[in-house]
Each structure stands twice: as C-alpha cells, then as structure tokens.
Amino acid sequence: MMILTGKVLVSAVRPPYSYGDEFVHQFLFALRLCWFPLLVSTVAFGFGAPGLQAANFLVLFGALDRLGGFFVLASIREFAPFVTAIVMAGVAGTAITADLGARKIREELDALQVLGVDPVKSLVVPRFLALMIVTGLFDVYALLFGIFGGIVATLVNGAPLGPFWATFFSNASVTDLWGSFVKCTLFGAIIAVICCYKGMTAKGGAEGVGRAVNQAVVIAMLGVFAFNYVFTQTLLATNPEMLVIK
C-alpha cells in the first residue's frame, strides 16, 4: 500500500495529465452516492451522541450553556471527520473496490498493461484525487449538519440558543477548522489507497471480490483510527492553546 501511495503521488504530478475526464466522473459519482447518507448520519449522530447525551449530563450541573463549547471538541475536532470517513469508506470505498476488483478478475488490468496503459495513472489516480477532495468538502457539510443536531438538542431541552453560540464561538478557532479539514482530506486519501489496493489485488472470482470489499472497509477504518490518533496528538502538542476550554 505504501508503494502504491508513492506511485499514485508521482503519477498524479507527472505529465501527461490524461486522467481528467475519469477524475470528473469519479468526483460526481462519489458526490451523488454519498451526500444523502452523510446528511442523515451527521444529523442523527450530532443530535444523538454529543447532543442529547451531553445535554442530559450538563443539565445535572445546570451548565447546558456549555453545550456549544462541547460541540467544538466533539463535532469539529472528532465526530464530523469520523462520520465522513465512515460514510465514504462504506459507500464510495466499497464501490471503488468492487469496480477495480471486477476489472482485475476479468483481467482488464492486465490487458491495459499489454496495451501500454498504466492502470495506476488511468484508474487509481483519478479515484484517489476524487475521493480525497470529496471527503474534504464533505467535512464542511458534516460540520454544518452536525452542529444543526446540537441546535436541535438545545431546543429539545428548552434552552435558548444564545449561550450555545456564545460558548461555541469562544472555543472555536481557525486551527480547529483547518485541522478538521486537513484530517478529513487525509482520511479520504487513506481510504482511496486502501480500497484501490484491495481491488487491484483481488483474486478468486466473485467471492474474492466480496472478500476484498470486506477487507478494504475494515482496514480503511483501522487506518483512519490509527492516523487520527497520531494527527490529534501532533495537533494538540503543537497548539497547546487548544487544550484550554474557555
């Protein structure tokens, strides 16, 4: 997978850039496939986990106004990128693995190499770039609807929205936003590489393709969780002001 990542990065910047049409097709495909599952997931997750559960806990101390600050920690830093990565891996990632796996089983990838066409440049690079960019854009989408879930939770508890926004904006920073965006974009890159690799190495007929899809999702989630640990620790270590809750 690391070797494939290197090949993808080199092929992406080395001319000729013949993957433009395929990139647009994959970008629109991922956008069309994932927007509604992500909408439902982010609203439900934002309302259920950090919204209702945190609100129930804060009500015990009469501190429901701190819910906005909690959403900076929960939604912007963690839950929005995580939910986006899960949806992208489960919807777009599986489609990529199944597509490339079927091509591998039908020996289309070998035929491309015989014709002198590089499968990495023509098939993997556009999927890699499309999934990475779509995942980054969807992070903004997930943030908006995740915070909307928090607004609904505040209203359900009969509290005004003024204190929610006050603590939200006093804790939110530019570092939180760009950190969330960069993290989510890199999540997309990890998912794309893993799913493309498992698809291009599938073997064993239709059963092998199904096995590759299953393995791709599991490994992608493990990769995302491991990378999140490293990224979050690095971000907090280099920006200690983020540890201070206002």
Burial of 81: CB neighbours in 10 Å, binned 0-12, 13-18, 19+: buried
Q: Which amino acid is residue 208, in one-letter code?
A: G
Going from N- to C-terminal start, the domains of the chain cover 21-232
State residue 153's pLDDT score.
Answer: 87
- The H or E element that residue 24 is part of is helix 20-46
Spans of the chain, pLDDT less than 50: none
**Neighbouring C-beta atoms of residue 137, cutoff 10 Å:** 18
Provide the whole-model pTM.
0.91
With H, G, I as helix, E, B as strand and everything else as coil, classify residue 166. Answer: helix
State residue 188's pLDDT score.
Answer: 94
d(CA 150, CA 72): 11
State residue 73's pLDDT score.
Answer: 84
With H, G, I as helix, E, B as strand and everything else as coil, classify residue 8. Answer: helix
**How do residues 12-42 score in pLDDT, each as one tens digit?**
888 888 888 889 999 999 999 889 999 888 8
Contact criterion met (CB below 8 Å) for 122 and 103: no
d(CA 53, CA 12): 44
- Spatial CB neighbours of 143, under 8 Å, sequence gap ≥ 6: 75, 76, 80, 180
State residue 116's pLDDT score.
Answer: 84
* Residue bearing tokens 């690391």: 2
Closest CA to 77 of 218, 170, 175: 175
State residue 64's pLDDT score.
Answer: 85
Q: Which two tokens stand for residue 64?
A: 């429901």
State residue 84's pLDDT score.
Answer: 93
d(CA 59, CA 52): 10
Closest CA to 224 of 34, 59, 85, 126: 85
d(CA 174, CA 238): 14
State residue 16's pLDDT score.
Answer: 82
